[in-house]
Amino acid sequence: MKITVVGTGYVGLVTGACMAEVGNDILCLDVNPEKIRVLEEGGIPIYEPGLQEMVQRNVAAGRLHFTTDVARAVNHGTIQFIAVGTPPDEDGSADMQYVLAAARSIGRLMTDYKVVVDKSTVPVGTADKVNAAIADELQKRGVQTPYAVVSNPEFLKEGAAVEDFMRPDRIIVGANDEQAILLMRAIYAPFQRNRDRLIVTDVRSAELTKYAANAMLATRISFMNELANLAEKLGADIEMVRQGIGSDPRIGYDFLYPGCGYGGSCFPKDVKALIQTAAGDAGIDLKVLTAVEEANDAQKHVLTRKVQTRLGQDLSGKHIALWGLAFKPNTDDMREAPSRETIAGLLAAGATVTAYDPVAMEEAQRVFGQMPGLTYAESPNLALAGADALVIVTEWKEFRSPDFDVIKAQLKQPLIIDGRNLYDPKFVRAQGFEYLAIGR
């Protein structure tokens, strides 16, 4: 099937590559010529395990193409995925200008039946606006070309996006056009051969499902972070509590890990957007989600507070080794990353920081620029030299079993402040360390 994907960011590139992998003829459109140049030369603009190899394989096979030519892209695919960015507006709502611009381009240039698929995470009611934008452009042209608008939200975890797309838990299709539903079933059939995972809903329910899923996961994280902070004060161990409540099948073990806050391109943005949608479009104050957001904002400062509690409010002359910059492992994404607040807080208190991340250091240098007091190391151990404490922000696998003798030899004092509860406190303390974790 011929498919066009508008946008070669995180969602668009994964969608295009995975659709090509099962044999479709994919054309990815982006208005940024530099992005297209990188992709045509075999590179990718983001870090995602397995994605670059998949892109290169399908480009070589002639199934995956890239262009900046809007007319070519609209003409190519019967199915037109819109996978452009929806960044937060000033009030926290999703900025829809890129989605609607893509819809208008399709309406301006289409000559035959199109299924326009909202793949970007968009507020409830966006499909109606996309529908209206296409209808307006067709009216201006004086033509009545048939089309359908479908909501098909993505549920991709950064760091496991290729696997999630190829083996989905569920595929949500919000549509009321029978031909569009048949086409969507056809393109997703290769991804669900052992059982049907495709759920057809009305369009607005599909749009809300995406926000509801991310809001629920964010809620579990903030809830566990608050419980962890309470456990610390009460002398309980949050890891034992986690096992106790996770064993209840109604609760389960997933997303019950306390830490130093959630970040990334989805949870913070989507929680804000859902709160704003509820307030602005429905006049409803989502009290639980407002508290989730407030709890997360506070949790991003927990590591700086722990450092200051141990080393003093004024950290002038103190040097901190920091492991982990990306908001989670297996990505270079720094958007809303807890490391940003941690580094800013440490520097503001007078400390200097040497940071290491296996993937995100280039992105960190772009984010922070030439920030006085912040340097980068080429390995975890090199980051430790002469530091007063080691602060762990991201739970990369290579941090899970370090050489504690090397850590102790490099640090000025054996102090580890662990924002991801990577280690067994008894074991680390038996190695002669002072070990401060989250809720332990």
Give tens-digit pLDDT for 399-433.
999 999 999 999 999 999 999 999 999 999 999 99
> What's the N-to-C CA distance of the chain in angstroms?
53
Catalytic residues: 266
* Alpha carbon of residue 240 to chain centroid: 28
Give tens-digit pLDDT for 210-263.
999 999 999 999 999 999 999 999 999 999 999 999 999 999 999 999 999 999
Q: How confident is the model at residue 93 (pLDDT cuts 50, 70, 90)?
A: confident
Spatial strand order in the sheet of 415-418: 374-376, 352-356, 319-323, 389-392, 415-418, 434-436
Give tens-digit pLDDT for 2-48.
999 999 999 999 999 999 999 999 999 999 999 999 999 889 988 99
Predicted local confidence at residue 89, as pLDDT: 77
Predicted local confidence at residue 217, as pLDDT: 97
The arithmetic mean of pLDDT across residues 86-99, rounded, is 84
* Alpha carbon of residue 379 to chain centroid: 25
CB burial of 277-287 (b: ≥16 within 10 Å; e: otherwise) equals bbbeeeeeebe
CB burial of 101-136 (b: ≥16 within 10 Å; e: otherwise) equals ebbbbbbbbbeeebbbbbbbbbbbebbebbbebbee
The arithmetic mean of pLDDT across residues 46-61, rounded, is 95
Give tens-digit pLDDT for 200-221.
999 999 999 999 999 999 999 9
* Alpha carbon of residue 192 to chain centroid: 24
25: exposed, middle or buried (Cβ count in 10 Å: 0-12, 13-18, 19+): middle
Place of tokens 């949870």: 267
CB burial of 233-248 (b: ≥16 within 10 Å; e: otherwise) equals eeeeebbebbeeeeee
